[in-house]
Amino acid sequence: MKLSTLIVAATTSALLLSGSAMAVRFAGCISGSDHFNSSGMRLYSANQVLQQFLAHRYNFSSYGGAYFANKGNRNRVGRSVVRPRHVRRAIVYGRPCFVANYRGGVTHVRLR
């Protein structure tokens, strides 16, 4: 386990906001393996790359990030809209570090 991965797991937080809308914050750096799904196919969608990022880091409940330990919750990020638009290309074709907030089917991403 890499130290940077442990930091990502430790900094993930889930916050309950206004009613039942769940907002989840996560951060980290995209790696080369995040651009490929478990079958080895290249991903060309920012939301799918973020979903794969989460899958690589939250496979085990003891690993941290209780919200993303659930595969269904990771899948929600995979179906979300990534905003703003200019970060999509950086996520799909690069290896940026980022902070993301997921809420209500939208993932807002800020590059670091």
Give the chain's domain count.
1
Range of the domain at 8: 3-111
Tell me the pLDDT tens digit for each residue of 58-84: 654 444 467 777 888 888 888 888 998
Backbone angles phi, psi at 89, to 5 degrees: -65, -40
Which is it for strands 81-83 and 106-111: parallel, antiparallel or unpaired?
parallel
The CA-atom distances, in angstroms, between 69 and each of 27, 60, 82, 84 are 15, 6, 21, 26
pLDDT at 94 over 50: yes
Tell me the pLDDT tens digit for each residue of 7-59: 343 344 444 333 346 788 888 899 999 999 989 999 999 999 999 998 887 65
Which H or E element spans position 57?
Answer: helix 46-57
